[in-house]
Amino acid sequence: MRWNRVRRAGAQRPGNRVVIAGLGDTGVLTAIKLAKHADVVGISAKPGLVSGQELGWRLARPDDWARHNWIPFGRFRGLDRVRAVHGTLTAVDLVARTVAVQLPDGSTTDVGYDTLVISTGVTNGFWRQPTLQTEAEIGTDLRAPHERLAAAKSVIVIGGGAAAVSSAANIATTWPDKRVDLYYPGDRALAEHHPRTWEKVRHRLTEAGVGLHPGHRADLPPGFTGDELTADPVQWSTGQPAASADAVLWAIGRVRPNTDWLPAVLLDEQGFVRVTPELQVPGHPEVFAVGDVAATDALRSSARNRADGLIAHNVLAASAGKSLRSYRPPRSRWGSVLGIQPNGLEVFAPNGKAFRFPAWTFERVLMPWIVKWGIYRGVRGD
């Protein structure tokens, strides 16, 4: 990626300038889809894709996780035509159609757009933070929690979503001598998945030796976000005795949208970007939003349902005066929950039925051919 050739404000190439604000999982895919059809500029606080997916795999086996989920932008063949700005978004001028970016040296530049795609995602725990980082700092962030968990004899995981369930399972299978307990507030975890999914995953957790504790809701002090591992006893607002462990992982789903740089007129009451079914921002047809930051539905599911293709189509269609397509969210979450395991990768459909990729296909077929060539259109250095 040509980081040293980013053009300052006013130096625009003719044609449809599309600025993609945020180059996470969805932003990168959107940029790849648009790169052959428009002048695309991507803005990112990281020097590469640092995926927010597969937390359990990241914590338990960070080196393996990084090979597939921490990829410098220059390795993506599909981004060769995309110009990148490494910096932090600070403001948008909807009239002048510019975004302001603070660069690593502290200076600020304005980047003009004809179309703006907001894909800045959310903050969630220590693994999804919008802070400006170098490659070395990302490496440190990957190693530190892994080493903390490796040294712990007992681990508590709090939360009922996929991040919590995956973390408990992967910690238990990587370090079978540890005591690992999963606490969640409902009768079952994975409440946003089909019940059939939880039944299968519950069996996997039990096999791995994870202690399951339904009906436990943590008593959190005001302002607590769970953005770091802790070691203090956990108190429960549901009345159970306090629980203790050497390390406590908070995966409680307290996501905060990365929208501080946007005016309130674009946001809903929770701070997510309001969108139409076509993923346009109401009143601003030149502004789109996609991914976890977009208020598409209760699950904000466009991040996990390949809406990058739809939004790329709509951006190009809008600029050409053609009809746009609508996003239709699924009723339940779907996909992998536990990530790659010694016996393969299990993926759950929205109806809770599972299909498995054998372990040997993951490195030989799924990642190199389906993901890196089929989805990302080529990744160098493998």
Q: How confident is the model at residue 8 (pLDDT cuts 50, 70, 90)?
A: very low
Question: Stretch 209-235: mean pLDDT, rounded?
Answer: 93
Domains of the chain by start residue, with CATH: 17-134+256-332 (3.50.50.60), 149-250 (3.50.50.60)
Whole-angstrom CA distances from 31 to 300, 309, 321, 373, 374 are 20, 10, 21, 15, 15
Give percent of the chain above pLDDT 90: 84
Residue-wise pLDDT tens digits, 332-343: 788 899 998 888
Bridge-based pairing state of the strands 108-112 and 98-102 = antiparallel
Q: How far apart are CA 45 and CA 49, in angstroms?
A: 10
pLDDT of residue 329: 86
Question: Stretch 83-104: mean pLDDT, rounded?
Answer: 97
For helices 307-319 and 25-34, angle between their N-to-C axes, nearest 10 degrees:
40
Whole-angstrom CA distances from 151 to 23, 57, 145, 155, 252 are 33, 17, 10, 10, 23
Res. 13: pLDDT tops 60: no
Bridge-based pairing state of the strands 17-21 and 39-44 = parallel
Provide CB contacts within 8 A for 210, sequence distance 6+. Answer: 168, 169, 172, 180, 181, 182
Q: How confident is the model at residue 223 (pLDDT cuts 50, 70, 90)?
A: confident
Whether the Cβ atoms of residue 352 and residue 330 lie closer than 8 Å to each other: no
Tokens coding 139: 């490496």
Q: Which residue has the higher pLDDT, 153 or 2?
A: 153
Whether the Cβ atoms of residue 329 and residue 299 lie closer than 8 Å to each other: yes
pLDDT of residue 330: 78
Question: Stretch 138-157: mean pLDDT, rounded?
Answer: 97
Question: Stretch 92-108: mean pLDDT, rounded?
Answer: 97
Whether the Cβ atoms of residue 92 and residue 115 lie closer than 8 Å to each other: no
Q: How far apart are CA 122 and CA 119, in angstroms?
A: 9
Please tell me the pTM assigned to this model. Answer: 0.92
Residue-wise pLDDT tens digits, 263-319: 999 999 999 999 999 999 999 999 999 999 999 988 888 887 779 999 999 999 999
pLDDT of residue 299: 81
Contacts 24+ apart (CB under 8 A), 287-290: 287/94, 287/115, 287/116, 287/118, 288/115, 288/116, 288/117, 288/118, 288/314, 288/315, 289/117, 289/118, 289/119, 290/26, 290/30, 290/117, 290/118, 290/119
Among 41-45, 59-63, 223-227, 362-366, the minimum mean pLDDT is found in 223-227
Instruction: Tell me the pLDDT of the chain averaged across its residues.
Output: 92
Residue-wise pLDDT tens digits, 27-85: 999 999 999 999 999 999 999 999 999 999 999 999 999 999 999 999 999 999 999 99
pLDDT of residue 240: 97
Whole-angstrom CA distances from 225 to 167, 190, 234, 251 are 18, 20, 14, 10
Whether the Cβ atoms of residue 310 and residue 33 lie closer than 8 Å to each other: no
pLDDT of residue 15: 60
Going across the sheet that includes 98-102, the strands are 88-93, 98-102, 108-112
